[in-house]
């Protein structure tokens, strides 16, 4: 909310995460886009993030943020 994220915005979240990570994105009426994780570190896969950004743009969403979790 502090960043004025809302309807029409895309936030990228890891696919392998707790439900609340994506829930908070939906709570501000933005769209969570799930990104695959690397098998060896469980961190976000940069190639999957690039694909997610492209998909968000195709859907008419504005990419505005990433919620990353380090393991």
- Residues 8-57 have pLDDT tens digits of 999 999 988 888 888 999 999 999 999 999 999 888 999 999 999 999 99
Query: Are 37 and 45 spatial neighbours (Cβ–Cβ below 8 Å)?
Result: yes
Task: State the residue range of the domain holding 22.
Answer: 9-64
Domains: count for the chain: 1
Query: At 57, is the secondary structure helix, strand, or coil?
Result: helix
Query: Are 10 and 31 spatial neighbours (Cβ–Cβ below 8 Å)?
Result: yes
Residue 1 lies in a domain: no
Distance of CA 20 to the CA centre of its chain: 12
Residue 2 lies in a domain: no
Question: Per-residue pLDDT for 71 more than 80?
Answer: no
Residue 71 lies in a domain: no
Query: Are 26 and 32 spatial neighbours (Cβ–Cβ below 8 Å)?
Result: yes
Identify the pLDDT of residue 41.
Answer: 87
Residue 22 lies in a domain: yes
Residue 29 lies in a domain: yes
Identify the pLDDT of residue 38.
Answer: 92
Question: Per-residue pLDDT for 2 more than 80?
Answer: no
Residue 69 lies in a domain: no
Residue 70 lies in a domain: no
Residue 3 lies in a domain: no
């Amino acid at each position: 909310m502090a960043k004025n994220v809302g309807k029409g915005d895309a936030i990228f979240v890891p696919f392998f995460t707790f439900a609340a990570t994506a829930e908070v994105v939906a709570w501000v009426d933005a769209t969570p886009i799930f990104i695959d994780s690397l098998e060896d570190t469980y961190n976000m896969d940069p190639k999957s993030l690039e694909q997610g950004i492209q998909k968000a743009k195709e859907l008419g969403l504005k990419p505005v943020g990433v919620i990353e979790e380090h393991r």
